[in-house]
């Protein structure tokens, strides 16, 4: 049996981003500024690696304070009652890399599959072993209890239901 290695998300070189349609005609981009996670893998291919991520809902940032306040409210993330979004899953390789697991928002847990581009493994100038990934997918926000909605005069939705997810993740191998 191979020895499992633990990796930690290097939050200095990683980001958790989302995009959602506004008024059907434009897109709003936001970030979660505080998150952490780890990956446990048997090798540097990461096939079958266990992935755990926690995102602090109160760290949401769309570059607009009033909107951020609304997103933290009971209408959306209810950040006081539900301080974290979590993901627990496994990285699978079947030709392509896929991250398969369960996403929990507002205590609603749903299965999700995300596409992964594996950038490879390298050593940084300080001798740390690093691995890089781009992770993409989408969810329907209403599946997770993010139900707030309003309509424009023309009948269009103010906030789209589909949320695009994009994560740039750099891992650091933890040396025992």
Which CATH number does the domain housing residue 168 bear? Answer: 2.40.128.110
The predicted pLDDT at position 134 comes to: 97
Residue 171: which residues within 8 A CB-CB, separation 6 or more?
Answer: 7, 8, 9, 10, 39, 130, 131, 132, 133
The predicted pLDDT at position 101 comes to: 98
Sign of CA dihedral 148, 71, 117, 27: positive
User: Residue with structure tokens 């008024």?
Assistant: 23
The predicted pLDDT at position 176 comes to: 65
Residues of the chain with pLDDT under 70: 1-2, 22, 24-26, 148, 150-158, 176
Distances from the Cα of 66 to the Cα of 7, 72, 112, angstroms: 36, 10, 30
Range of the domain at 154: 5-173
The predicted pLDDT at position 160 comes to: 75
The predicted pLDDT at position 63 comes to: 94
The domain tally of the chain equals 1
């Amino acid at each position: 049996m191979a020895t499992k290695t633990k990796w930690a998300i290097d939050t200095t070189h990683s980001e958790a981003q989302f995009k959602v349609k506004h008024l059907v005609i434009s897109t709003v981009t936001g970030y979660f500024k505080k998150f952490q996670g780890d990956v446990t893998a048997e090798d540097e291919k990461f096939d079958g690696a266990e992935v755990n991520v926690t995102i602090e809902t109160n760290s949401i940032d769309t570059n607009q304070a009033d909107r951020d306040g609304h997103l933290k409210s009971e209408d959306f993330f209810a950040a006081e009652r539900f301080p974290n979004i979590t993901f627990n899953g496994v990285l699978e390789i079947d030709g392509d890399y896929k991250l398969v697991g369960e996403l929990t928002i507002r205590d609603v847990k749903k299965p999700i599959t995300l596409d992964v581009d594996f950038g490879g493994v390298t050593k940084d100038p300080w001798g740390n072993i690093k691995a890089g990934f781009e992770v993409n997918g989408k969810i329907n926000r209403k599946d997770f209890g993010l139900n707030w909605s309003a309509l424009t005069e023309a009948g269009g939705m103010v906030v789209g239901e589909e949320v695009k997810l994009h994560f740039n993740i750099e891992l650091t191998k933890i040396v025992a």
